[in-house]
Amino acid sequence: MRGLGLAATLRLGLFQGCLGCLAVIFSGLLNRVMITELAFPGLLVGGALAFEQFVAPARILFGQISDAHPIAGRYRLPYIWLGTLLFCCFSVASVPLIFAVGRLLDAGSSIPLALGVSALCGLFALYGLSISMATTPYLALVIDRTTEAERPRAVGVIWCMLTVGIVIGAILIAVSLKGLDGVTDPALLEPALLGFMVKVAVAVLALTLVATTGSEPSGRLHTWAGDGSPSPGRDDAITLAQSWTLITSSRQVLVFFAFLMCFTLGLFLQDPILESYGAQVFGMPIAATASLNAFWGVGTLAGLLLAGIWLVPRLGKLAAARLGCQLIVVTLGLLVLCGFSGRVPLLNAVLLLFGLAAGIGTNSALVLMLDLTLPRAAGTFVGVWGLAQALSRALGKVFGGGLLDLAQQLQRRLQLGEDPFPAFALVLVVEMVVASLALVLLARLNLRRFREDTGVSLSKVLALELG
């Protein structure tokens, strides 16, 4: 790759791998501990974790800031480093706070509990802000360093590294916490989880510095033209108000925004309840439920490679994205059906297939996302697309946990027995419907019209600024 060589892409992708590792530990493990070991209500867990995504509008701001305000001559790296330091600190702080809220739940004191829950939501919001600060400039840096022709390969490599990180995170949980299988005493769980999280956070911070140091030269930003030559820098960086005018100027922007929301929600609605699904329906211990993410991750890795190397070049971006969405709907149906058997090997196999479908859809959607980004406003557009994904992740956490609570209450009121499967099945069926809606929206996307509308809009915005 002329803008970003393969070795540099692999090294830069190490940052995504670190994010994937921390994400599966922070979200998956803490979900499991809060719902199963500490008996938090599902809606509380999903609602609190959703605050990580509710602050997603800040992605647009961070993107615009990184476009317009360099630090020490660099537009991207300082924000990536600061964001990484902050989210590592917040991930460590989450462990003692979760157990403190668990003690307040047991005590049943309303005012201290309300304060504890508010603090938990605030911590997750700060974690989300720091993630936004790091990842939005990171994706803009990928656009800065690659041509349109290079991006499918770069996306495939970088998101493969993300998936590798997810798998490594799941393996770390399974190996490091195997001695906690069957342990429910918070006095034993808290120090073990805190020590584990500290080690992970230190490793993530160190690897991020290794991955990104030297990836952005100092001086003016430049992007790469379609022929691989560098294009002019961004002396004309647009303001936040002009950014909003640009992103609301085209109906196609709104269509793609809605597609990204439905696509991401169709992947992650089960996210807050997946490990509890394994625990309650399939009887899996804590270390074994962590392995569910490993099967999903291996499948996703295969899907990313398959899409990046063969499907997207052969079928095209839109057709590959359509195929990915269709496969996601089918495999979600299989995830429901395997619950009738209660067999762990079948669940693992289905999650492998679900990951394969997710990898195909994710690679195609990401290539579309980066292609539907104007180079001269890369941070702004990446912020908008990141906002769509983050909002849907937030809705997934809230609705995933909330739907589970609602289904369990209906089951008790209607005296339908104690079988936990129907409540989890409802969440998965709703997820199938959302993934189907993503297919409908994808059919309404017109790439040529998008580029024409946004290109004209950017010219108008810059003309107004100069005039």
SS3 302: helix
Angle at 395 between CA 39 and CA 291, to 5 degrees: 55
Q: How far is CA 390 from CA 164, 173, 222, 260, 330, in A?
A: 21, 25, 27, 10, 24
pLDDT digits (tens, 9 = 90+) for 178-209: 766 666 778 888 888 888 889 989 999 999 99
Q: Provide the pLDDT for residue 298.
A: 82
Residue 108 Rama label (left phi>0; alpha psi -120 to 50; beta): left
How confident is the model at residue 379, as a pLDDT? 60
Q: Across residues 406-412, what is the average pLDDT?
A: 87
238 close to 466: Cβ distance less than 8 angstroms? no
| Residue 463 reports pLDDT greater than 50 | no
Q: Cα(130)–Cα(132) distance, rounded to whole angstroms?
A: 5
Q: Which of 294, 423, 315 is nearest to 364 (CA)?
A: 315
C-alpha to C-alpha distances, 12 to 97, 141, 148, 159, 418, nearest whole angstrom: 33, 10, 18, 11, 49
Q: In the prediction, which pLDDT does 354 show?
A: 95
Mean pLDDT of 173-178: 72
Q: Find, among 269, 294, 52, 342, the residue nearest to 163 by Cα.
A: 294
Q: Which amino acid is at 333?
A: G
**Which pLDDT band, with edges at 50, 70 and 90, does 457 fall under?**
low
Q: What is the pLDDT of residue 10?
A: 82
* Residue 432 confidence class, pLDDT cut points 50, 70, 90: very high
Inter-residue contact 398 to 194 (CB < 8 Å) = no
- For residue 101 the two structure tokens come to 């809220």
Whether residue 1 has pLDDT greater than 60: no
In this predicted structure, the answer to whether residue 447 has a pLDDT above a threshold of 80 is no
Matching residue, tokens 């719902």:
35
Q: Which two tokens stand for residue 196?
A: 């584990």
The residue whose two tokens read 């990141």 is 386
- In contact, 350 and 331? CB cutoff 8 Å: yes
The most confident of the ranges 214-218, 219-223, 459-463 is 214-218
Question: What is the arithmetic mean of pLDDT over 17-22?
Answer: 85
CA angle, 141 then 146 then 149, to 5°: 145
- Specify the pLDDT at position 268: 84
Architecture of domain 6-216+239-460: Up-down Bundle (1.20)
Q: What's the pLDDT at 235?
A: 38
Contact between residue 18 and residue 24 where contact means Cβ atoms under 8 Å apart? no
> In this structure, which amino acid lies at residue 440?
V
The helix-helix angle for 251-268 and 378-413 (nearest 10°) equals 40
Question: CB-based contacts of 121: which residues, under 8 Å, 6+ apart?
Answer: 47, 48, 51
Give per-residue pLDDT as tens, 142-152. Answer: 877 777 667 66
Question: What percentage of the chain reaches a pLDDT higher than 90?
Answer: 20
Given pLDDT bands bounded at 50, 70 and 90, which one contains residue 39? confident
10 Å Cβ neighbour count for 314? 10
Average pLDDT over residues 94-102: 90
- Of 185-189, 338-342, 403-407, 420-424, the one with minimum mean pLDDT is 185-189
Q: What is the per-residue pLDDT for 414?
A: 84
| Residue 109, Ramachandran bin (φ over 0: left; ψ between -120 and 50: alpha; else beta) | beta
- Residue 55, SS3 per DSSP: coil
Lowest mean pLDDT among 21-25, 330-334, 376-380, 415-419: 376-380
Q: pLDDT tens digits for 276-305?
A: 888 889 988 766 776 787 788 788 878 888
Taking the C-alpha atoms of residue 191 and residue 403, their distance in angstroms, rounded to an integer, is 32
Choice between 222 and 333, residue whose per-residue pLDDT is larger: 333
CA distance 51 to 397: 9
pLDDT higher for 4 or 54? 54
Average pLDDT, the chain: 80
pLDDT (0 to 100) of residue 190: 85
Q: pLDDT tier at 345 (50, 70, 90 boundaries)? A: very high
Please give the average per-residue pLDDT across 424-436, as a whole number. Answer: 93
DSSP string, 4-38: S-HHHHHHHHHHHHHHHHHHIIIIIIHHHIIIIIS
pLDDT the model gives residue 325 = 94
Q: By mean pLDDT, which of 74-88, 99-113, 355-369, 387-401 is the weakest? A: 387-401
Phi, psi of 393 (to 5 degrees): -65, -40
DSSP annotation string for 128-195:
HHHHHHHHHHHHHHHHHH--TTTHHHHHHHHHHHHHHHHHHHHHHHHHHTGGGTT---HHHHHHHHHH
**More confidently predicted of 100 and 245:** 100
Percent of the chain with pLDDT over 70: 81
305: its two tokens: 């490679």
Please say if the pLDDT value at position 226 is more than 80: no
* pLDDT tens sequence across 245-265: 666 667 777 888 889 889 989
Provide the whole-model pTM: 0.66
Confidence (pLDDT) at 378: 59
